Structure 1
Amino acid sequence: MTEQKKRRPYSSTLRQEQAQATRQKIATAARELMISKGYADTTMAEVAREAGVAVQTLYTSSPGGKPALAKLVYDITLAGDAQPLPQSDRPEVQAIIDEPDPARKLALYAAMATAILRRVKPVHRVLRAAAAASPTDAGLQDLLADIERERLTGSRGPAEHLHGLGALRPDLPPARAAEQIYVLTSTENFEKLTEVCGWSEAEYEEWLASILAAALLGPLHPEQAGEQ
């Protein structure tokens, strides 16, 4: 019995690692197919074949059919891996929390946001195009709505963090600050500036950091004081 108890944590960890690896394979295969063929022309059977898993495994990993599979692709692309680790617990976010200077916090946030946007841009574009072509596809429309709701919810974290430090402008409620962060970090803005306007990603990151600081921070912070 003692020997069995010793083995259980190892077995549990191994199962978790295997599940993560399977989710990663599925997401990678689905992402490549959806980007190359489009959302509508990508079938669950094709994804299963490319990932080297049974179709039933695909439905187990993403219950809800193809919209759920697309959400799995988006979530893993956003995070950068299949680890079941909340975004708030990741090292990049911890570095932002640990940074004492509010302007520098926003510079680190802009760097993180730029890296995320680089990853999710092709996936988000495919899903937007599919939704525009199939306005009656409720699952796809709900997926995009869920993504936007989650983005807005995620924007409340940095807004509340700055508010807790007393770093927000005195006239700016945290909810309104979150809405500004949500809009400024949209995939569409990233696409327009880097593709239509021809900005480099470094230029976008610098712009995002500066406009977030100008929009959110109180006038006593060095970033804004130096501009006066």
Structure 2
Amino acid sequence: MTEEPARRRYDSLRRTAQAQQTSADIARAARTLFVAKGWAATTVRDVAREAGVSVPTIYAAYGNKNGLTWALTDAADLSADLSRLLAELESAPEPPRQLAAMVAYDRRLFERAGEVIVLLREAGRTEPELAQAYREARARADDAHRQVLSTWPPGALRSSIDLQTALDIYAAICNIDVYTELISERGWSSEQVEKWWCTMVIRELLEIPTAAT
């Protein structure tokens, strides 16, 4: 397989990474303020001041305050380094190594931005905009995982599961609640979580599990 088709395979992820990087300062500012002050108390002007940009720049990037809910998900993905995940996927086409790259990304995401994910989910119980942002962020993660798994050759996934079931299993293993339970309640390190997740998803998803490198 030539390098160009391999690059085109992940064009959607690449566009997402580029767009998120463009709005990085705004996203980080919104994350800082929403976590510190809460959604209701934070204004667009506050975010602009924190980010060092003009208010029109905020509107151009996100439309309005409701649009800033996307800044939270952008900030989370930026902190986990989506570009690094993309590079690892393109350099390692083998399913075990791609699963390892996905798991490593999720570990970074929860380690560095777990409070943002929890904020979105909990605040979404009373703020419809945040609830929608949380749902769409979850859907976006599923879509990214689908892009990866759908490129695998026939026979890579266990014969007893289809693609959607594989996505469901991955989400059941690698999620913020499991991460929080193991880190906060069980005293695991993030490295331990990543290693266990990697072992589990390889065992549960691949037809012939092999050690990820």
1:199 aligns with 2:188: yes
* Equivalent position of 1:7 in the other structure: none
Deviation at 1:138, TM superposition (A): 2.6
Residues 1:54 and 1:81: Cα distance change in structure 2 (over 3 Å) = farther
Larger radius of gyration: 1
SS for the counterpart of 1:42 is coil
Deviation at 1:204, TM superposition (A): 0.4
* Equivalent position of 1:43 in the other structure: 43
* Equivalent position of 2:74 in the other structure: 75
* Equivalent position of 2:169 in the other structure: 180
Residues 1:51 and 1:108: Cα distance change in structure 2 (over 3 Å) = closer
Identity of aligned residues (%): 27
Q: Give the partner amino acid of 2:47.
A: V
Q: Distance in 2 between matches of 1:128 and 1:142?
A: 10
Native 8 Å contact 2:120 2:131 kept in 1: no
* Equivalent position of 2:34 in the other structure: 34
- Map 1:49-198 onto structure 2 (within 5 A): 49-63=49-63, 65-80=64-79, 90-99=83-92, 101-132=94-125, 134=126, 137-162=127-152, 164-198=153-187
Q: Distance in 2 between matches of 1:221 and 1:20?
A: 34
Q: Distance in 2 between matches of 1:81 and 1:193?
A: 19
- Normalised to the residue count of structure 2, the TM-score between the two structures is 0.78
Deviation at 1:39, TM superposition (A): 2.0
SS for the counterpart of 1:161 is coil
Residues 1:103 and 1:36: Cα distance change in structure 2 (over 3 Å) = same
Residues 1:81 and 1:117: Cα distance change in structure 2 (over 3 Å) = closer
Deviation at 1:188, TM superposition (A): 2.3
Larger deviation: 113-122 or 193-202? 113-122
Q: Distance in 1 between matches of 2:170 and 2:22?
A: 34
Residues 1:161 and 1:197: Cα distance change in structure 2 (over 3 Å) = farther
- Normalised to the residue count of structure 1, the TM-score between the two structures is 0.73
Task: Note the residue ranges of structure 1 that are not aligned, 5 or more in a row.
Answer: 1-18, 224-228
Deviation at 1:122, TM superposition (A): 1.6
Matched residues, number: 193
Deviation at 1:197, TM superposition (A): 2.0
Deviation at 1:101, TM superposition (A): 4.7
Q: Distance in 2 between matches of 1:207 and 1:81?
A: 19
Native 8 Å contact 1:31 1:73 kept in 2: yes
Q: Give the partner amino acid of 1:125.
A: V
Deviation at 1:57, TM superposition (A): 2.1
Q: Distance in 2 between matches of 1:205 and 1:68?
A: 32
Task: Note the residue ranges of structure 2 that are not aligned, 5 or more in a row.
Answer: 1-18
SS for the counterpart of 1:39 is coil
Q: Distance in 1 between matches of 2:148 and 2:140?
A: 14
Residues 1:81 and 1:59: Cα distance change in structure 2 (over 3 Å) = farther
